[in-house]
Structure 1
């Protein structure tokens, strides 16, 4: 019975806490698996909407402009000198209305004070064009100049000019029709239906290629002060232009003073410098004049300098300086013109506020 009796199961010793802790310290602890922490999802920020301005394209990109502006690019390079002192103060009354005061101190013919006003309507074909435009000024003697410019559509433009000086008055109306590749203009000046007098000018300019424009002009004038009672003159023009230059030629085969020739050339050298040359001759009168000039514009310092010299040895220059650090828009102008042959020199200084 003793041999068949089962031996009692061994009792596992109760581990000593101190010994267990010592052994645990001595043995390396098993690696702890990384625990993924629950990160709260970020609230998505609202997408910033950046407004995209539509590209402003000209209404008639292939239109050559008007006939009378063929030589404008060269004319704008030359300075417009003035004499004496000039002060211009402009004030914007609203977004559509502006007034200005002009005080000129020079020879008695042009000295004095003039009050002017400009109104710009709300009819827009582009951000740079608003119609109608009304301009006018009057001096202390009551002499009045008025201009009205309006666009009835993208193709039809009208300009009305009126001048009243004492008992004399001059009126003129110009209508331009701009097509996709041409411009037709009609000008009527001082019409007098009772006496059968007046002036009419018809102009047409056609774009042949992207670099070539040709046009013609016909002028007809009738009145009692004209030899023969009436006269008609016709001229032809052509403009050839590149990316930074253009050349224009106008020929008048016959006229009251004989034939004439007018050519001009303008070239933009870089962003700040332009040069221009002009030649005018009258075959009937036997007179010719050549002019060269340049324009230097530095927007960073607010300086615009223009200079020219012609074949009569007349030198002219103007400089406009914008005071960029000024609290109000302020421009100071300096002018000088002199002729060594005539020993005649004139100087001017002006200020434009507003």
Structure 2
């Protein structure tokens, strides 16, 4: 959790969560995207010890690889992934204090235009100079849909998370989780939509153990009950990481997920992912790369997937003005479909 963006919280590490969880328990398709601009001199972060759950293979202040949590095994590649959109998107960020920020987002396209209002609060409790808690993030759309996140850490060992979603006046979903950071291992427990009266809900337990400073292994146990049935799924994982690259693999009843991340230098990063589903017997391989040109205030990202999709994005900061321009484009060769997005961020 090196910054506010790290508040995003993936719920499973399997290659096909939608098929893995089936339709017994509704799981939100996405978490809230926090504003990209920090609102305080310090931003929320994970412990700076070997259990930093959001660090990439290279810690910002140390050359030692970090352990992290089970759900972060493929995070370096996920962070490289292109986030394309279609149409026009405008964002305005306004810091109301050193701890509180609001965000307005307008997205215009041919299919559906939306407006979203978001807010981020970062508390004053600082376990270290580089982290602050609690973190509260909320977002509401013009359709009345509400999403909220709360993250708080107690000392350097225990972190609690909560995500809630409402669709109009109806309560849609709630997910609760906790991370326990030990000396050379991490334990995470997540529950989604628990209903003790009806005996339904979902429980996920993660365990990640450092075997050596470079090798870590772990497992995930998912138990789900509802709709007159129940199921349990086991996933095993392994990772080898150095200061500049890492290789991670998760294999379970849902399928296979493998990723390779390489940091060539301070400005160039490359990632490759393979996701295969045992249920549909389909697989997708994707290549993502990033070039950062700090002297020109430019950030370029690109992707290429095995389903014949290519894409790229360009981000330009107009320093010293607080304005960032961005453009994304994707093209599916097989379907002959093009999607282009233009956007601007103020603040």
CA contact (8 A) 2:50 2:68 kept: no
Give the Å deviation of 1:140: 2.1
What is the aligned partner in structure 2 of residue 138 from structure 1? 140
Give the Å deviation of 1:168: 4.8
What is the aligned partner in structure 1 of residue 280 from structure 2? 285
Normalised by the size of structure 2, how large is the TM-score? 0.80
Local SS of the residue matching 1:300 = helix
Q: Tell me the matched-pair count.
A: 287
What is the aligned partner in structure 2 of residue 247 from structure 1? 247
What is the aligned partner in structure 1 of residue 174 from structure 2? 171
Give CA-to-partner distance per residue, 1:29-50, whole Å, 9 cap, x none: xxxxxxxxxxxxxxxxxxxxxx
Cα RMSD for the two superposed structures: 1.5
Matched ranges for 1:1-354 at <5 A:
59-61=48-50, 64-109=67-112, 111-166=113-168, 167-224=170-227, 229-252=229-252, 254-255=253-254, 260-326=255-321, 329-354=322-347
Give CA-to-partner distance per residue, 1:223-277, whole Å, 9 cap, x none: 01xxx6001100011010122000001101x24xxxx111000101111111111
Give CA-to-partner distance per residue, 1:74-104, whole Å, 9 cap, x none: 1112211111111110111111111111111
Give the Å deviation of 1:283: 2.8
User: Tell me, which stretches of 5 or more residues in structure 2 are unaligned?
Assistant: 1-45, 52-65
Local SS of the residue matching 1:76 = helix
Normalised by the size of structure 1, how large is the TM-score? 0.78
Give the Å deviation of 1:314: 0.4
- Choose between structure 1 and 2 for higher RCO, CA contacts under 8 A separated by at least 6 residues: 2
CA contact (8 A) 1:274 1:295 kept: yes
Give CA-to-partner distance per residue, 1:310-349, whole Å, 9 cap, x none: 11110111111111232xx111110111101001110001
Cα distance change, pair 179–321 in 1 and its aligned pair in 2 (3 A)? same
Give the Å deviation of 1:108: 4.1
Give CA-to-partner distance per residue, 1:97-143, whole Å, 9 cap, x none: 1111111112444x221111111110001222100011101122211
CA contact (8 A) 2:47 2:156 kept: no
Cα distance change, pair 133–294 in 1 and its aligned pair in 2 (3 A)? same
User: Tell me, which stretches of 5 or more residues in structure 1 are unaligned?
Assistant: 1-56
Structure with higher Rg: it is: 1
Counterpart CA distance in 2 for 1:262 and 1:248 is 8
